[in-house]
Amino acid sequence: DAKTTQPNSMESNEEEPVHLPCNHSTISGTDYIHWYRQLPSQGPEYVIHGLTSNVNNRMASLAIAEDRKSSTLILHRATLRDAAVYYCILSWNSGNTPLVFGKGTRLSVIA
Amino acid sequence: EAGVAQSPRYKIIEKRQSVAFWCNPISGHATLYWYQQILGQGPKLLIQFQNNGVVDDSQLPKDRFSAERLKGVDSTLKIQPAKLEDSAVYLCASSLGNSYYGYTFGSGTRLTVV
């Protein structure tokens, strides 16, 4: 599996936007970029995924660099409930390869 | 829709004892996964089922871990005998198909081996 690099931790103030970076310089043309997050004492939950174009949903936005070697998860207005570990994962969606989780980024939100 | 159900929520056992975890995936989800999450790390895949067949169990310690998914629905994961290093959260996830459809995780079973 292609690897991703994320900062260990980040901090944000409540009600401000948060940009969570992910580097994936060895991404292949068929790899999708997935983001999951894990709230305390919960299993991971799906946030968003994309291939080449930027994606938006009710939870977040995903900005993908033109060369696809990096991406950014954007939380438009952080709340205390967004404090979690965020995982950036690459996966070839046409196959049956399971998601491989790294250590992710621990996001703290300050009131 | 109902989520992925797991039980028990917590379990404490002594080393060398056996333990079993149960998972009920979302109805209609063909693919089921068991992950192990050690404190401070990301989840690590143990086994993947497609309906009631095993797709990938390459990281399952087969000398002590076993898993089954009867009738392609519920699944159980067993550890026998348990070791101290098995202390972790065991997460079950299900999906309609592959990762494109997204995984839905249960809340996990926290196992402590003393």
A40 and B CB contact within 8 Å: no
Give the mean pLDDT of B90-100: 91
Which of B4, B55, B103 comes nearest A96 by C-beta?
Answer: B55
A91 and B CB contact within 8 Å: yes
Count of CB atoms situated within 10 Å of the CB of A29 = 8
For residue A35, list its beta bridge partners: A48, A88
pLDDT of A1: 55
Question: To 10 degrees, the CA torsion angle through B66, A46, B107, B70?
Answer: -40
Cβ pair B106, B5 in contact under 8 A: yes
Give the mean pLDDT of A42-58: 95
- Summarize pLDDT for B24-72 with one digit per residue, the tens: 999 999 999 999 999 999 999 999 999 989 999 999 999 999 999 988 8
**Residue B72 burial by CB count (10 A; 0-12/13-18/19+): exposed, middle or buried?**
middle
Q: What would the two tokens of residue A77 be?
A: 């207005």
Show Cβ contacts of residue A90 under 8 Å, excluding neighbours closer than 6 positions.
A1, A2, A3, A4, A24, A27, A31, A32, A33, A34
What percent of chain B is predicted at pLDDT more than 90? 88
A53 and B CB contact within 8 Å: no
Cβ pair A49, A35 in contact under 8 A: yes
- Summarize pLDDT for A55-74 with one digit per residue, the tens: 999 999 999 999 999 999 99
CA–CA separation, B74 vs A39, rounded Å?
A: 25
Q: Which residue has the tokens 């839905």?
A: B104
A8 and B CB contact within 8 Å: no
pLDDT, mean over chain A: 94
Q: What would the two tokens of residue B111 be?
A: 């196992």
Which of B56, B99, B106 comes nearest A34 by C-beta?
Answer: B99
- Summarize pLDDT for A71-93 with one digit per residue, the tens: 999 999 999 999 999 999 999 86
